[in-house]
Structure 1
């Protein structure tokens, strides 16, 4: 599976490693993704999602149902 958050759509970003002598080489900044199970009480089932830690905080704040609905609207999640 790709390194993409299923809720926010965060992806790896590209940047440079900069050495002491100011040499620049390409590198990737990876999102902090976690595999996490969430319980959806309306459907009485568990769902496993690959989400960033900021998405976990959003789910805790707003609730899994509203966050899933918004992710489907934005096209990040096929549910």
Structure 2
């Protein structure tokens, strides 16, 4: 998967990288991909489902503050829902 598609748009999760070491300690760069999930939420105020691409932390945030407040935050930042 390309790096751009692994970025969670709604919560601004980015890739990070580090070194990995083999048994004889030869080091090479590796990538840490964010845990990004596509999830569908019911938006009662609009009477429709919305599909969001979120990290797992973003899903927990939506569960905590509610889908209405989360969609309001995304739209306030100029995001499309």
The normalised TM-score by structure 1 is 0.82
Aligned pairs for 1:1-79 (under 5 A) are 2-75=5-78, 77-79=79-81
CA separation in 2, counterparts of 1:73 and 1:20? 49
The alignment covers a number of residue pairs equal to 78
Q: Which moved more, 1:54-63 or 1:13-22?
A: 13-22
Partners of 2:76 and 2:23 in 1: CA distance: 45
Q: Is the 8 A contact 1:7 1:67 kept in 2?
A: no
TM-score (norm 2): 0.80
Find runs of 4+ consecutive structure 1 residues off by over 2 angstroms. 18-23, 71-75
Higher relative contact order (CA 8 A, sep 6+): 1
Flag structure 2 segments of 5+ consecutive residues without an equivalent.
none
Q: Deviation at 1:15?
A: 1.6
Higher mean displacement: 59-68 or 7-16: 7-16
SS in structure 1 opposite 2:75? helix
Question: 1:78 Cα deviation (Å)?
Answer: 2.2
